[in-house]
């Protein structure tokens, strides 16, 4: 806040571009228009202490697979992490197998699902290619993990780097909200 109060920081925001196999960027005090397309959609914070927002639902290929009411967007978490019960429902529908109880793998040839998170009424989709961390032969490792965050902060979903590679996120502490736009590397231009 001191930088904003002193006038040295133009806006009380910071923004992340993680890119997809490219160099990422953190901008403090503004955004980099080269790294996103379209407009930001803003989501008010439920809590200022953890960048928590209202999660209206989680869908896999259009079917509801989660009803946890809270999510956070976190650049310090590599994966999508959700409550065990919801993650297990997702991996079961995908036919995924677990590797050493930690990672989930699917057959790359048949994997074409879409996972969507609805924040403030806006659906943010992650296509199959967005959900794959790594391919090993015909197996694709998913960027999905089960994690039960206890109350009072949880239960919640953590929308980590898997989400942030597809979406450019601005953290606006001045207006207690986050803004989400499609990252330029994740954009489908028509």
pLDDT by residue (tens digit) across 124-170? Answer: 999 999 999 999 899 999 999 999 999 988 999 999 999 999 999 99
Report the pLDDT value the prediction gives residue 1, as an integer from 0 to 100: 66
Which tokens sit at 24?
Answer: 């990422």
User: For residue 80, which of 165, 170, 186 has the smallest C-alpha distance?
Assistant: 165
The whole-angstrom separation of Cα 80 and Cα 28 is: 25
Structural tokens at position 23: 């160099």
Residues in the chain: 190
CA 80/CA 159 separation, integer angstroms: 5
Higher pLDDT, 188 or 169: 169
- The string over 139-178, giving b where at least 16 C-beta atoms fall within 10 Å of a residue's C-beta and e elsewhere, is bbbbbbbbbebeeeebbbbbbbbbbbbbbbbbbbbeeebb
pTM tops 0.85, yes or no? yes
List, in sequence order, every residue forming a beta bridge with 136; answer none if it has no partner.
139
What is the SS3 assignment for 11?
Answer: coil
pLDDT score at 188: 47
Q: Which two tokens stand for residue 26?
A: 């953190």
Quote the longest CA-to-CA distance of the chain: 55
Neighbours of 25 (CB within 10 A): 14
Extract the tokens encoding 106.
């699917």
* Comparison of pLDDT for 173 and 159, the residue scoring more: 159
Q: Is the pLDDT of residue 190 over 50?
A: no
CA dihedral 53, 28, 74, 67 (to 10 degrees): 20
């Amino acid at each position: 806040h001191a930088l904003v109060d002193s006038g040295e920081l133009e806006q009380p925001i910071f923004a992340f571009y993680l890119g997809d196999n490219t160099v990422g960027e953190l901008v403090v005090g503004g955004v980099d228009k080269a790294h996103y397309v379209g407009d930001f959609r803003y989501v008010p914070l439920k809590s200022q202490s953890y960048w928590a927002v209202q999660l209206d639902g989680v869908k896999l290929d259009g079917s509801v697979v989660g009803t946890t009411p809270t999510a956070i967007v976190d650049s310090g978490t590599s994966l999508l992490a959700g409550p065990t019960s919801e993650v297990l429902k997702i991996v079961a529908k995908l036919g995924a197998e677990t590797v050493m109880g930690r990672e989930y793998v699917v057959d790359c040839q048949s994997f074409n699902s879409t996972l969507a998170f609805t924040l403030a009424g806006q659906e943010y989709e992650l296509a199959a290619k967005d959900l794959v961390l790594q391919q090993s032969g015909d197996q694709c490792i998913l960027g999905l993990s089960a994690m039960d965050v206890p109350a009072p902060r949880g239960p919640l979903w953590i929308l980590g780097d898997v989400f942030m590679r597809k979406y450019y996120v601005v953290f606006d502490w001045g207006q207690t909200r986050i803004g989400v736009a499609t990252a330029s590397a994740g954009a489908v231009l028509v």
